[in-house]
Amino acid sequence: MSNLSKTDNYDVVIVGMGPTGLVLANLLGLEKLNVLVIDKFLSPYDLPRAVHLDDEIMRILQVIGVASEMEKIMRPNLGMRFVDADNNLLLDWPRPQEIGKNGWKPSYKFHQPDLERVLYKNLKKFPSVEIRKGFEATEVKNEDEKVEVTILKLEKNDVCRVKCDFIVGCDGARSFIRKKMGVEYEEMGFFEDWLVVDIILKKDRSDLGLFSIQFCGTSQPATYSPGTRGRLRWEFALKDQKNHEDILKTDYVWNLLSRWITPDEAKIERKAIYTFKSSLAEHWVKDRLILAGDSAHLTPPFMGQGMCIGLRDASNLAWKLISVIRGQSDLSFLKSYEIERRPHAKEYISTAIKLGKMLGELSSNSKKNKEGPIHMKSLAPKIGNAFSIKEEEFARSLSLQPKLSNGQYVDDIVGYKFCLFLSEDLASQFSGNNSNIIVFNSKDHPTIKEYLEHVSTKALLIRPDKYILGGAKNLSELNELLSLEFINSINNKI
Ligand SMILES: Cc1cc2nc3c(=O)[nH]c(=O)nc-3n(C[C@H](O)[C@H](O)[C@H](O)COP(=O)(O)OP(=O)(O)OC[C@H]3O[C@@H](n4cnc5c(N)ncnc54)[C@H](O)[C@@H]3O)c2cc1C
């Protein structure tokens, strides 16, 4: 196949150009890895799916350099409410409208095809990343030091084989790579058919409001989820209704929507029946084959987190791949990806299942609502424990993103590197240890001083994915933390 530049030495082949594959390719491109990213489709999937993302995801987009562009075409999310048939409030999950501790508003509404377009455009900046559409992975073979991937160029029915150090299956729910790994899903107990209807407004209907609403206590639980730029979504639980063909008839759909909107006010962009599932791949890494995104996990969409979980995978995985490919860590280091990410993803999926079940259970008379509406808070789970680093309250949590005294946010300076927040006295003893870590002295930045004091430590070492690797209260603890070899692999200039 002549139009691939190499056949025998890609660092990474990424299968799938959904949001997970695109983010992973961008992160690896930032560090100049030789990457081939393929998708079997010639054009991106242009219909709405994800509509919500959070501030952790904004930080990943910020590192890649596309957050500001996305911000212009998103809107802050007001939050979600559960109500009963008489509109009584049963659960309230408002989202603050101010910039929060991550340097962004906590939650946004967006249009998934917009994000994929922006990420794809950005990827073209990286000469070390080869992008191929209409190319399908059809076979993979694990060899001792490499993986061989068979790729079919669909237009010409041409086949070629390429070799790489690692293959990452960002190939969605029906993942071919997962099958090749022989990995099963652990089913977490949620399995329901829902009708999803996306409409585009023809007339102003701002009276419908910008809160997402879950309608409980009826024979057909339903969701209203306002999107961006005139797009609104409704979802309806299908319970025992089996005849999908009838359900998808236009008249039937408008009848369901008639409580809120009519055909002269909007056009239907897409109607589809999805089975909302909760599944978690039993293993995410097998030799040189790795899963990320929907190939590794599926969640019901009640928290708007499916894609977000996948983007966290990409951010956790990229620096580890870089470390192994640069010879700073051995192959087993990649196990830390599964150890850290799997329980974190599971926490989100479990909470989404709970919310989904509440849709059928909550009512003004329900036990859970005895004391009035439930007040929901955003999740902030820790990642799993992969490194034997002294356990402290803050370790394995997402770090804050302080604003520096010159007005810049930390991530804009650090990018996808390790960085160190140091108290003034520890900074005065610290020689730098030849490391290339970006150091911030709390003497120069009151926000960092405040942060260190708040978590009662003198140093915080923050990883490229913005999770806290560990802290130190004195120089010897700091030197111990910095002796981990993998830290330098990504901060070295190449
Ligand atoms: C109704 C609905 C609402 C949702 N709402 C939200 C939300 O609000 N927030 C949120 O975070 N998430 C949401 N999600 C989930 C989100 O859409 C998915 O989690 C996300 O698209 C997964 O991204 P991915 O890149 O892992 O996989 P995908 O987007 O599925 O991409 C996989 C890609 O791999 C390609 N591929 C597959 N096999 C091969 C092969 N052998 N060779 C080459 N290419 C291949 C496919 O063509 C595809 O482009 C929602 C989903 C649905 C259905």
- Indicate if ligand 1 lies below 6 Å from the C-beta of 17: yes
8 token code pair: 């025998």
Tokens of 255: 């009848």
Do 43 and 61 meet the contact criterion of CB atoms below 8 Å apart? no
| pLDDT band per the 50, 70, 90 thresholds, residue 173 | very high
Residue range 154-183: average pLDDT?
95
> What's the one-letter identity of residue 82?
F
Q: For residue 28, what are its two tokens?
A: 């690896």
> What span, in angstroms and rounded, lies between the C-alpha atoms of 184 and 145?
25
DSSP H/E element including 139? strand 135-142
Q: Kindly report, residue by residue over 109-132, the tens digit of the pLDDT.
A: 999 999 999 999 999 999 999 999
Both tokens of 459, joined, read 């140093």
Using the structure block, give the residue that is written with the tokens 């910008």: 210
Give me the pLDDT at residue 433, please.
Answer: 59
Strand (E) or helix (H) holding 354: helix 335-361
Nearest to 419 by CA among 402, 400, 439: 439
Q: Report helix, strand or coil for 397.
A: coil
Per-residue tokens: 362:
């909550």
**CB 471 less than 6 A from any atom of ligand 1:** no
Whether 235 shows a pLDDT value over 50: the answer reads yes
**Is residue 423 within 8 Å of 384, Cβ to Cβ?**
no
Which of the four pLDDT bands, split at 50, 70 and 90, describes residue 492? low
Task: Check if 313 has its Cβ closer than 6 Å to any atom of ligand 1.
Answer: no
| Predicted local distance difference test score (pLDDT) of residue 286 | 96
pLDDT of 205 higher than 60: yes
pLDDT tens readout for residues 283-300: 999 999 999 999 999 999
pLDDT tens digit sequence for 382-441: 999 998 778 888 999 999 999 999 999 999 999 999 999 999 999 999 887 556 789 999
Q: Of the residues 112, 135, 199, which should be mutated to test ligand 1's pocket, given the most ligand atoms within 8 Å of the CB?
A: 112
pLDDT at residue 178 in the model: 98
Please state the rounded mean pLDDT for residues 255-275. Answer: 97
389 by DSSP, 3-state: which?
coil
Q: Poorest-confidence range of 149-158, 273-282, 316-325?
A: 149-158
pLDDT of 16 > 90? The answer is yes
CA 466/CA 319 separation, integer angstroms = 11
Q: Are 344 and 381 in contact (CB under 8 A)?
A: yes
Q: Are 305 and 380 in contact (CB under 8 A)?
A: no
- For residues 137 and 150, the answer to whether their CB atoms sit within 8 Å is yes
Residue 2 has pLDDT above 70, yes or no: no
Q: Cα(267)–Cα(257) distance, rounded to whole angstroms? A: 12
Provide the token pair at 366. 């329900």
Q: Could you report the per-residue pLDDT of 302-324, keeping only the tens digit for each?
A: 999 999 999 999 999 999 999 99
**Runs of H (alpha helix) within 17-170:** 19-30, 55-64, 67-72, 112-123
Residues 48-58 have a mean pLDDT of 97
Written as six digits, the tokens of 72 are 């212009």
Domains delineated in the chain:
10-70+109-186+279-357 (3.50.50.60), 410-491 (3.40.30.120)
Distance spanning both ends of the chain, measured CA to CA: 30
pLDDT in tens, 85-98: 888 999 999 999 99
37 lines ligand 1 (CB under 6 A): no
Q: Give the tokens for residue 107.
A: 């939650």
Taking every pair of C-alpha atoms in the chain, what is the biggest distance, in angstroms?
A: 73
Averaged pLDDT, 264-277 = 96
Structure tokens at 485: 């070899």
Beta carbon of 49 within 6 Å of any ligand 1 atom:
yes
pLDDT value of residue 493:
45
User: Could you give the angle at the alpha carbon of 449 between the alpha carbons of 447 and 450, nearest 5°?
Assistant: 65
* Confidence band for 494, pLDDT divided at 50, 70 and 90: very low
Counting residues of the chain whose pLDDT is more than 90, the rounded percentage is 82
Position 390 scores a pLDDT of 81
Query: Which residues on adjacent β-strands are paired with residue 409?
Result: 403
CA distance 384 to 339: 6
Distance CA 454, CA 408 (A): 21
- pLDDT for 342-389, tens place per residue? 999 999 999 999 999 988 887 767 777 777 888 988 889 999 999 877
* Whether the Cβ atoms of residue 55 and residue 100 lie closer than 8 Å to each other: yes
pLDDT at 1 over 70: no
Is the distance from the beta carbon of residue 20 to the nearest atom of ligand 1 less than 6 Å? yes
- Averaged over 143-151, what is the pLDDT? 93
CA–CA distance, 281 with 448 (Å, rounded to integer):
38
- CB-CB contact of 187 with 281 (8 Å): no
On the CB side of 490, how many CA atoms lie within 13 Å of its CA?
Answer: 29
472: phi then psi, degrees, rounded to nearest 5: -150, 145
- The residue contributing the CA closest to ligand 1 atom 13 is 50
Q: Whose CA is nearest to atom 26 of ligand 1?
A: 293
CA distance 321 to 337: 10
136 CB near ligand 1 (under 6 Å): yes
Comparing 4-8, 9-13, 324-328, the range with the smallest average pLDDT is 4-8
Per the prediction, the chain carries an average pLDDT of 93
Distance from Cα 294 to the centre of ligand 1, integer Å: 6
Is residue 172 in contact with ligand 1, taking CB distance under 6 Å?
yes
Instruction: Give, in order, the Cα–Cα distances in Å from 99 to each of 94, 96, 102, 107, 401.
Output: 14, 8, 8, 10, 11
- CA distance linking residue 150 with residue 162, whole number of Å: 7
